[in-house]
C-alpha cells in the first residue's frame, strides 16, 4: 500500500493512479475488493458523533476517510484481527496502520499526543501516549490499539479520522462499513482477566437474566468511566448474583419487561476476555450484583 503524505492528497493521488475519479468511484457499485471487507468492530469505545463526510473538499484535496468525534483519550480499537504499524506526518500527526487479516488496510489518524486534556502537544507518537500496543503487534478485533486525540492539523478538535483500503489499494467510503459495524462494549486483549461496571437502566428481568440499557462502562483493572452510545446488554445471572429488592422478579420463568425502567449500576463477575464479551453478546457477561443508582 502506498504511504499517504496527508489524509486527503495522498488518497487523491491513489485514485488518479487507478484511473478513477472520486465521482465515478462514489457512483459505481461495490467492487470485489470492497465486498471482501469483513463486518467490522466499530473503531472507538465512546459516545461518538459522525456522519458521511467522505469525499468532502478539503484545503489539501478530497477527504479520504470519515471523521468520528469522540472524547480525548477514548479507546481506539482494532476493527478486525491483524498487525499494527506506527506512522506519523505533519498533517496526520500520530497515525496507525492496521493490516487486517482480510487483506484490508485501515488508517487511524490524529491519535493522541497530549499529556493532558489541554491540547498541550507535550507527548509524542509513542506507546502509552498515542499507542496502546507495541509497533508491529498482532492484535485481535476489539483490542485497544491507541487513544483518540487531536494531533497533526486537528489541534483542538479531538476526533478519529478513519480510512478503509480494501486489498491495500485506494481508499473507499467507510460509511457503510461503520454503519453495520458491531459496537464494542469495552476494549481488552483476548484472554486477559476483566470485570465491568455498567451504568444505565434495568429494562427487563427474569429467566436467569437481566437486560440493561447501558450508557456508561468502566473496565477493571485500571479503567475509568466512559460514556458510550446507549445500547442494550443482557447479563446472565449466577446463583450467587445479588439483586437489590424492587428491581423486578428475576425468578420469573420468562424475562419480563419492566413497566418503568429503573436506573441501576451493575458489576460483572471476573472472567477472561472473549470476543463475545467485548461485543456484549447476550449472556456473554454474568452479573455479580445489580443495585439501584442514585
Q: What is the reported pLDDT for 28?
A: 36
pLDDT reported for residue 53: 78
CB-based contacts of 73: which residues, under 8 Å, 6+ apart? 112, 117, 147, 148, 149
Report the chain's C-alpha Rg in angstroms: 21
State the Cα–Cα distance between residues 61 and 273, nearest whole angstrom.
42
Cell 429503573, located at residue: 262
Residues 6+ apart with CB under 8 A from 36: 102, 103, 104, 166, 167
Model-wide pTM > 0.95: no
H helical segments located in the chain: 9-17, 22-27, 32-35, 175-179, 275-279
List of residues 6+ apart from 281 with CB closer than 8 A: none
**3-state DSSP assignment of residue 12:** helix
CB 159 within 8 A of CB 70: yes
What are the Cα distances from residue 276, in Å, to 184, 185, 197, 204, 234? 9, 10, 17, 21, 12
Pairing of strands 93-100, 105-111: antiparallel
**pLDDT score at 247:** 76
Alpha carbons 267 and 287: distance in angstroms, whole number: 6
The pLDDT value recorded for residue 32 is 60
Q: Give the other-Cβ count within 10 Å of 216's Cβ.
A: 16
Q: What is the pLDDT along the chain (294 residues), one digit of tens a residue?
A: 544 434 443 433 333 233 323 333 333 335 566 778 999 999 999 999 998 878 777 777 777 889 999 999 999 999 999 999 999 999 899 999 999 999 999 999 999 999 998 889 999 999 999 999 999 999 999 999 999 999 998 888 899 999 999 999 999 999 999 999 999 999 999 999 999 999 999 999 888 899 999 999 999 998 899 999 999 999 999 888 888 876 766 666 567 788 788 999 999 999 999 999 999 999 899 999 999 987
Residue 26 DSSP class: H
Provide the pLDDT for residue 31: 58
Exposure string of 55-77, with b = 16+ CB inside 10 Å and e = fewer, is beebeebbbbbbbbbbebbbbbb
Amino acid at each position: 500500500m502506498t504511504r499517504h503524505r496527508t489524509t486527503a492528497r495522498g488518497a487523491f493521488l491513489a485514485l488518479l493512479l487507478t484511473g478513477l475519479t472520486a465521482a465515478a468511484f462514489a457512483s459505481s457499485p461495490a467492487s470485489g475488493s470492497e465486498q471482501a471487507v469483513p463486518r467490522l468492530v466499530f473503531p472507538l469505545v465512546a459516545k461518538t458523533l459522525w456522519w458521511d463526510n467522505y469525499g468532502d473538499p478539503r484545503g489539501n484535496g478530497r477527504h479520504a476517510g470519515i471523521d468520528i468525534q469522540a472524547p480525548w483519550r477514548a479507546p481506539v480499537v482494532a476493527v478486525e484481527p491483524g498487525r499494527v504499524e506506527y506512522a506519523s506526518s505533519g498533517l496526520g500527526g500520530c497515525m496507525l496502520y492496521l493490516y487486517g487479516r482480510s487483506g484490508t488496510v485501515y488508517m487511524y489518524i490524529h491519535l493522541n499526543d497530549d499529556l493532558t486534556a489541554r491540547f498541550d502537544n507535550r507527548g509524542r507518537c509513542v506507546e502509552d501516549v498515542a499507542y496502546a500496543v507495541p509497533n508491529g503487534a498482532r492484535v485481535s478485533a476489539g483490542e485497544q490499539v491507541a487513544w483518540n486525540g487531536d494531533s497533526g492539523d486537528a489541534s483542538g478538535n479531538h476526533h478519529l479520522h478513519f480510512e478503509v483500503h480494501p486489498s491495500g489499494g485506494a481508499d473507499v467510503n467507510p460509511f457503510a462499513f461503520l454503519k453495520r459495524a458491531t459496537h464494542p462494549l469495552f476494549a481488552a486483549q483476548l484472554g486477559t482477566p476483566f470485570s465491568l461496571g455498567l451504568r444505565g437502566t434495568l429494562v427487563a428481568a427474569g429467566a436467569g437474566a437481566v437486560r440493561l440499557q447501558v450508557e456508561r462502562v468502566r473496565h477493571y483493572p485500571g479503567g475509568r468511566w466512559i460514556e458510550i452510545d446507549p445500547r442494550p446488554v443482557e447479563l446472565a445471572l449466577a446463583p450467587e448474583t445479588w439483586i437489590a429488592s424492587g428491581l423486578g422478579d428475576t425468578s420469573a420463568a420468562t424475562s419480563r419487561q419492566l413497566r418503568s425502567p429503573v436506573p441501576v449500576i451493575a458489576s460483572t463477575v471476573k472472567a477472561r476476555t472473549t470476543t463475545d464479551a467485548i461485543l456484549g453478546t447476550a449472556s456473554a457477561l454474568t452479573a455479580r450484583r445489580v443495585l439501584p443508582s442514585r
